[in-house]
Amino acid sequence: MQTTTRPGICRICSAHCGVLATVTDGRLTKVAGDPDNPMFKGYTCAKGRALPEIHNNPNRLLHSQKRQSDGTYQPIEAELAMDEIAARLQQLIDAHGPRSVAIYLGTNGLPYPASALMANAFIRGIESPMFFTANTIDQPGKQIALAAHGHWLGGDVDFHEADSWMLIGTNPLVSKAIGIPGQNPGQGLRSALARGMKLIVIDPRRSQTAARAAIHLQPRPGEDVTIVAGIINFVISEGLCDTAFLADNATGFEELAAAVSGFTPEYVAERADVPMEQFIAAATIFATHGTRRGMVNAGTGANFAAHGSLLEYLCLCLTTICGRWQRAGQPVVRPNTLMPAFTAKAQPHPPYEGWGYGERLRVRGLTDTVAGMPTAALADEILLEGEGQVKALICIGGNPMAAWPDQRKTLRALDNLDLLVTLDTEMSLTSRLADYVIAPMMQMETPAMTMGSELIKYYTSGTGIPAAYGQYVPRLVEPPEGSDLTEEWQFFLGLTKRMQLDLWFVNFFGGGGGRFMESPPVVINMNADTALTTEELFAQMCSTSRIPFDAVAGHPHGKIFDVDEVVAERDTDCDARLDIGNAVLLGELAEVLAEDFAAAQDTAEYPLRLIPRRHGSFMNSSGTNLAALNRGKPYNPAYMHPAAIAALGLRSGDLVTVTSPHDSIPSVVESDDSLRPDVIAMHHAFGGLPSEDGEVRSRGSNVGRLVPTDTEYDPITGLPRQGNIPVKVTVGIS
């Protein structure tokens, strides 16, 4: 028996934890935290530790699959599949134009930067604008808000030195996504609280993060905009703004002050159902506690409700009126390692065009945005006949049947395609509908680097690696013997060669859809003659990195490099301003204020409000069938307060039907006293096809089925209301 243990990188989420991977006789047998990694210091989560089970999943595809005329699947060599797919794509483009081909990039594609960027290069190479990602069905308001507000070029405040921090609808101790740095978040929060940082959490559930907060506001779902607007109004009314910072760096203060003036503490307390004294205490602590400042971050839960773009914009406005940005002479929190060096400056980058440009969809007046094309409208683009109809879809790192809203419409759309191709490690819900399923290599079978975790800082404030940290690791295990697997980016290169395309792989080092650029991109020509290994491609992607790629690779356990960068002084000729008075978004705030909120909160027919909830063992739909992760519970319960369960005459474990105004799903009720009594919480991305509802205890149920895409939606991003869903719960499965 031959056993080796070497450092690796877990890429299940954007944290990119440094781990130790043990391989026994060519098989991944153990993954544990790496105590010699200077950033993670031995930390990893249950998902990372389950990588051996994920790699060795008996349902894993070791060969690509082709759908037969009778609906069954047969193995097909990957190269032959590329031949056939390229030919069919070319036929569709010739007959219906490039717009007939679309790509969807799911969450599991993002930790593989070469895959995502090559997919984007391919869709640009065929001149189709139809590139969609999971971003626009999650939190697209972050990029919309940044475009409307502008960027602070000095960067974020350091969580590890902050005096206060506010988190809204996010649970980073589980998600490791936003706010508390994802590199060992539990330890980071413990250290922050021990030195006196005050954490404020706004969440209808007493989550693991909320349980550690100095103040936990537990409001009615969907009132996050009300609360943040109220905090801004309180800060302005009490004279707690950083007036010097505003005078030098912002415009629109009068418009903001007028827009929030109706959100008084009394109004907020009544509408959001929070104690007024607690609300005032939270606002006061955030604006005044300590001298080292802090920030505010909103997460998926808050963005899923409604008005996500507005909420994110108000979070930026609150940050700016309190002057909560890194200043001249202070350390640069995220100075880059495998990305290029840059000069952080204590000045704004002004707002830029964030929506209303580029491709215009045929439904709901939606357009391209800095957040990307509106994914919630893609099913309509597939179903709507006529010029521009999407005929082919390639899914990489995603599972639309589990993740997209309105599951029944999604099913009709995928069934309507002339060509559906997925790149998937198993026959997921979506792959069960595909014409071709390309079997890819998995994490430890490909080289890895932490550039993707650096890049996420452009997504929103409070994300990315808060240090000059980098790690690169080679392939740690060979693909299973006899398998025929390909790397995802090389699948798109294979199509490129077969379709004789001349395209450009662009490694963007900036946010704002390319409109805000911190550094020039690395551009690599990809054509029929390209013959690159992944290792060579990574080296080229990092050719302009702050720390040479070879130097990072020379530290297999990862390294925090000695980069002593501080925020530079403002340019003498800089007249840019952050905009805290955007007319479109503040116009939406006026509509919120004008709502008859008492009528909207009428619970006669639908007495509960359903909110999303992160799962500690799963990354969206991945791994729910693995015993090592689900621990005997492969379903997503309908969590309810014990009093609410008792009022319905139910007990934990009973089967129920959860019904929204749009549709219904089966579920298994479970008691949870961390919730408000008027709230129900469920994990998204579970369940089978609608015909498999009877298997709820072994599959769970699809929350997205409760959500229509064409009634309540963000007019800019198309994001439908996927949280604060009015529902009722009835006994049994109907």
Residue 262 CA to residue 267 CA, distance in Å, equals 8
Give the CATH number of the domain where residue 320 resides. Answer: 3.40.228.10
User: Do residues 150 and 252 make contact, with C-beta atoms less than 8 angstroms apart?
Assistant: no
Average of per-residue pLDDT across 327-335: 95
> What pLDDT, on a 0 to 100 scale, did the predictor assign at position 621?
61
Average of per-residue pLDDT across 28-34: 96
Across all residues in the chain, what is the average pLDDT?
92
| Polymer length of the chain | 734
Q: What percentage of the chain carries pLDDT values higher than 70?
A: 96
Average of per-residue pLDDT across 365-394: 97
pTM of the model: 0.96
Average of per-residue pLDDT across 103-121: 86
User: Do residues 101 and 392 make contact, with C-beta atoms less than 8 angstroms apart?
Assistant: yes
**Looking at the predicted structure, is the pLDDT value of residue 517 above 70?**
no
Q: 154 and 77 share a domain?
A: no
**Looking at the predicted structure, is the pLDDT value of residue 729 above 80?**
yes
Average of per-residue pLDDT across 64-75: 97
Give the CATH number of the domain where residue 657 resides. Answer: 2.40.40.20
User: What is the number of structural domains in the chain?
Assistant: 3
> What pLDDT, on a 0 to 100 scale, did the predictor assign at position 518?
72
Give the tokens for residue 280. 């005032």
Name the strand (E) or helix (H) holding 396.
Answer: strand 392-396
> What pLDDT, on a 0 to 100 scale, did the predictor assign at position 1?
81
Residue 325 CA to residue 567 CA, distance in Å, equals 11
Q: 639 and 675 share a domain?
A: yes
**Looking at the predicted structure, is the pLDDT value of residue 620 above 80?**
no
Q: What percentage of the chain carries pLDDT values higher than 90?
A: 81
> What pLDDT, on a 0 to 100 scale, did the predictor assign at position 575?
96
Q: 120 and 169 share a domain?
A: no
Q: Which one-letter DSSP state was computed for residue 631? A: T
Residue pLDDT, tens place only, 412-438: 999 999 999 999 999 999 999 999 999
- Among 390, 405, 438, give the residue marking a domain's end: 438
Beta bridge partners of 658: 665, 729
> What pLDDT, on a 0 to 100 scale, did the predictor assign at position 221?
95
User: How far, in whole angstroms, is CA 410 from its chain's centroid?
Assistant: 20
Greater confidence (629 vs 500) lies with: 500
Residue pLDDT, tens place only, 304-325: 988 999 999 999 999 999 999 9
**Looking at the predicted structure, is the pLDDT value of residue 513 above 60?**
no
- Does 29 map to a domain? no
- Does 423 map to a domain? yes
Q: Could you give the C-alpha distances from 670 to 51, 625, 675, in angstroms and in order?
A: 28, 20, 11
Residue pLDDT, tens place only, 177-212: 788 888 888 888 999 999 999 999 999 999 999 999
Find the farthest-apart pair of alpha carbons in the chain and give their distance in angstroms, rounded: 73
Q: 314 and 429 share a domain?
A: no
Q: 320 and 404 share a domain?
A: no
- Does 80 map to a domain? yes
Average of per-residue pLDDT across 366-391: 97
Give the CATH number of the domain where residue 375 resides. Answer: 3.40.50.740
When mean pLDDT is compared across 392-406, 457-471, 637-651, the lowest value belongs to: 457-471
> What pLDDT, on a 0 to 100 scale, did the predictor assign at position 516?
65
* Environment class of 296 (CB within 10 Å of its CB; exposed 0-12, middle 13-18, buried 19+): buried
- Does 714 map to a domain? yes
State the pLDDT confidence band at 526, using cuts at 50, 70 and 90.
Answer: confident
Q: 325 and 187 share a domain?
A: yes
Give the tokens for residue 349. 């980058």
> 3-state class of 173 per DSSP?
helix
> What pLDDT, on a 0 to 100 scale, did the predictor assign at position 370?
93
Average of per-residue pLDDT across 578-586: 98
Greater confidence (623 vs 463) lies with: 463
> What pLDDT, on a 0 to 100 scale, did the predictor assign at position 653?
94
> What pLDDT, on a 0 to 100 scale, did the predictor assign at position 618?
66
Q: 76 and 169 share a domain?
A: no
> What pLDDT, on a 0 to 100 scale, did the predictor assign at position 719?
96
**Looking at the predicted structure, is the pLDDT value of residue 286 above 90?**
yes
Q: 125 and 144 share a domain?
A: no
Q: From the CB of residue 244, how many other CB atoms can be counted at a distance below 10 Å?
A: 9
- Does 526 map to a domain? no
> What pLDDT, on a 0 to 100 scale, did the predictor assign at position 459?
78
Q: 234 and 377 share a domain?
A: no
State the pLDDT confidence band at 512, using cuts at 50, 70 and 90.
Answer: very low
**Looking at the predicted structure, is the pLDDT value of residue 272 above 50?**
yes
List strands edge to edge, sheet with 296-298. 215-217, 198-202, 164-168, 296-298
Greater confidence (362 vs 634) lies with: 362
- Among 403, 438, 473, give the residue marking a domain's end: 438
When mean pLDDT is compared across 137-141, 264-268, 330-334, 616-620, the lowest value belongs to: 616-620
Average of per-residue pLDDT across 214-238: 97
Strands (E) in 34-172, as ranges, are 64-67, 73-76, 101-105, 131-133, 151-152, 164-168
> What pLDDT, on a 0 to 100 scale, did the predictor assign at position 46?
87
Residue 121 CA to residue 221 CA, distance in Å, equals 40
Q: Which domain holds residue 217?
A: 140-332+344-350+578-585
Residue 35 CA to residue 12 CA, distance in Å, equals 19
Q: 317 and 182 share a domain?
A: yes
Greater confidence (453 vs 6) lies with: 6
Name the strand (E) or helix (H) holding 680.
Answer: strand 679-682
Residue 521 CA to residue 267 CA, distance in Å, equals 48
- Does 358 map to a domain? no
Q: 157 and 294 share a domain?
A: yes
Q: Could you give the C-alpha distances from 586 to 175, 224, 267, in angstroms and in order?
A: 30, 15, 18
Residue pLDDT, tens place only, 452-465: 888 888 877 788 88
State the pLDDT confidence band at 629, using cuts at 50, 70 and 90.
Answer: confident
Name the strand (E) or helix (H) holding 540.
Answer: helix 534-541
Average of per-residue pLDDT across 591-602: 87
Q: 611 and 703 share a domain?
A: yes
Average of per-residue pLDDT across 25-52: 93
> What pLDDT, on a 0 to 100 scale, did the predictor assign at position 182?
80
